[in-house]
């Protein structure tokens, strides 16, 4: 599991951007969707998620604004910027190339065994 | 349980300076953790169990705090630089513009002395701005207790003091000349106004004394 986590954690930025492509969201909601989609197998650590938010925001790929909750602490929402959309497409493309390379490299061919 | 969560976050942010970013991050984390906690309760978890799960999902915050500290540092430096550039620009502009009153008043109104007074006053103000800018810059802070670091901090300190003292002196004397000329021409009391220079010498001595004491304090 730890190796899988490390592998996925390297793509936190892509995961966050892909979530924001379909609409504004906030930390817990993003993590909830990640957990739901993976059937509870994978969950981003909050520290990792917030670090990604800060990194993406300082690169102007996402921007944040505060919700107008009347009671208690406010939610901090994130919105993807046009730059962020482009970065997402690029990252997705990179991932697809990496995936096909990895697949050809790590599969053992039946005929040679 | 909300208190326990606040307590946990307070401890987590204990060593982080309470900058705007840090306070906002704390609020953001608090809100998200609270929602997760409520969801876990709704799913039938015991309160203690839910709390432990919420804390466990935070993970290792070392990297997060490091990026926070870096961002604050970068932002502070950028603002500092901007302010400093503005002050220096204004001071230089004053220096460049300072001959204008002298030239215009001498040519148009036949009042070269008033023009000269204005020139010197503008130069004094510009020097004052430069001194302020220099003094408000952050000093070199020794990060660890090595000899090299200590020496660097010490030499940066003494150099600053010397430069500040020189700047204050030059501003003091241009102001004195300006005041001397202004008072002398407006009152015509030339026989007594030279006292201004003796007074200025006294002030100069006090300035030197002040900086010497300050230098001793630091070493």
The 3 state secondary structure assigned to A26-57 is: EHHHHHHHHHHHCCCCCCCCHHHHHHHHHHHH
Residues of B in contact with A51 (CB under 8 A): 63-64, 67
Report, as an integer, the average pLDDT of B159-186. 82
Asked if A48 and B67 come within 8 Å (Cβ–Cβ), the reply is: no
Asked if A46 and B31 come within 8 Å (Cβ–Cβ), the reply is: no
- Give me the residue spans of the domains in chain B: 2-59, 84-218
Chain B contact for A95 (CB, 8 A cutoff): no
**Minimal C-alpha gap between B54 and chain A (Å):** 10
Chain B contact for A32 (CB, 8 A cutoff): yes
Long-range contacts of B58-62 (CB under 8 A, 24+ apart): B58/A45, B58/A46, B58/A47, B58/B12, B58/B29, B58/B33, B59/A45, B59/A46, B59/A47, B59/A48, B60/A45, B60/A47, B61/A47, B61/B12, B62/A47
Cβ neighbours of residue A79 closer than 8 Å, sequence gap 6 or more: A20, A24, A62, A63, A64, A65
Chain B contact for A2 (CB, 8 A cutoff): no
Report, as an integer, the average pLDDT of A7-28. 90
Asked if B64 and A54 come within 8 Å (Cβ–Cβ), the reply is: yes
Say what the alpha-carbon torsion angle A41, A47, A48, A53 is, to the nearest 10 degrees. Answer: 120
Chain B contact for A43 (CB, 8 A cutoff): yes
Report, as an integer, the average pLDDT of B109-126. 85
Highest average pLDDT, of A27-36, B110-119, B188-197, B199-208, comes from A27-36
- Per-residue confidence band for B159, with pLDDT thresholds at 50, 70 and 90: confident
Report, as an integer, the average pLDDT of B51-67. 84
pLDDT over 80 at A82, yes or no? yes
Least confident of A13-27, B2-16, B140-154, B184-198: B140-154
pLDDT over 50 at A64, yes or no? yes
Give Cα separations from B121 to A55, B16, B118, B178 (angstroms): 49, 46, 5, 6
Highest average pLDDT, of A27-36, B164-173, B201-210, comes from A27-36
pLDDT over 50 at A47, yes or no? yes
- Give me the residue spans of the domains in chain A: 2-112
Which tokens go with A54? 């800060």
* ipTM for the whole complex: 0.81
- Per-residue confidence band for B142, with pLDDT thresholds at 50, 70 and 90: very low
Q: Is it true that domain A2-112 has CATH number 3.30.200.20?
A: no
Distance separating alpha carbons of residues B182 and B92, to the nearest angstrom: 24
pLDDT score at A112: 54
CB atoms within 10 A of CB B217: 7
Asked if B59 and A46 come within 8 Å (Cβ–Cβ), the reply is: yes
Chain A contact for B166 (CB, 8 A cutoff): no
**Minimal C-alpha gap between A91 and chain B (Å):** 22
Distance separating alpha carbons of residues B161 and B135, to the nearest angstrom: 9
Report, as an integer, the average pLDDT of B171-190. 83
Least confident of A52-61, B145-154, B196-205: B145-154
Say what the alpha-carbon torsion angle B189, B194, B195, B197 is, to the nearest 10 degrees. Answer: 150
């Amino acid at each position: 599991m730890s190796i899988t986590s490390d592998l996925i954690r390297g793509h936190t930025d892509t995961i966050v951007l892909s979530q924001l492509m379909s609409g504004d969201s906030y930390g817990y909601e993003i993590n909830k969707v990640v957990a739901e989609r993976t059937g509870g197998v994978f969950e981003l650590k909050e520290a990792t998620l917030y670090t990604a938010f800060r990194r993406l925001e300082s690169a102007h790929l996402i921007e944040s604004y505060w919700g107008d909750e009347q009671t208690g602490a406010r939610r901090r929402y994130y919105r993807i910027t046009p730059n962020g959309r482009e970065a997402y497409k690029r990252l997705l493309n990179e991932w697809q190339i990496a995936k096909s390379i990895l697949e050809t490299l790590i599969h053992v061919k039946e005929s040679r065994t | 349980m909300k208190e326990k969560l606040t307590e946990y976050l307070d401890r987590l942010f204990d060593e982080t300076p309470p900058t705007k970013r840090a306070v906002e991050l704390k609020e953001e984390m608090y809100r998200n953790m609270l929602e997760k906690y409520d969801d876990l309760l709704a799913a039938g978890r015991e309160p203690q169990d839910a709390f432990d799960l919420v804390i466990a999902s935070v993970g290792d915050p070392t990297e997060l705090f490091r990026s926070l500290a870096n961002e604050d540092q970068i932002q502070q430096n950028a603002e500092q630089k901007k302010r400093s550039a503005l002050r220096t620009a204004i001071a230089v502009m004053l220096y460049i513009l300072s001959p204008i009153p002298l030239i215009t008043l001498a040519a148009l109104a036949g009042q070269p002395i008033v023009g000269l007074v204005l020139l010197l006053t503008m130069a004094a103000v510009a020097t004052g701005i430069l001194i302020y800018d220099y003094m408000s810059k952050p000093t070199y802070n020794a990060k660890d207790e090595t000899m090299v670091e200590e020496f660097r901090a010490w030499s940066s300190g003494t150099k600053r003091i010397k430069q500040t003292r020189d700047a204050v002196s030059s501003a003091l004397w241009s102001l004195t000349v300006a005041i001397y000329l202004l008072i002398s021409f407006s009152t015509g009391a030339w026989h007594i106004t030279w006292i201004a220079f003796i007074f200025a010498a006294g002030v100069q001595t006090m300035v030197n004394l002040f900086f010497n004491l300050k230098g001793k304090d630091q070493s």
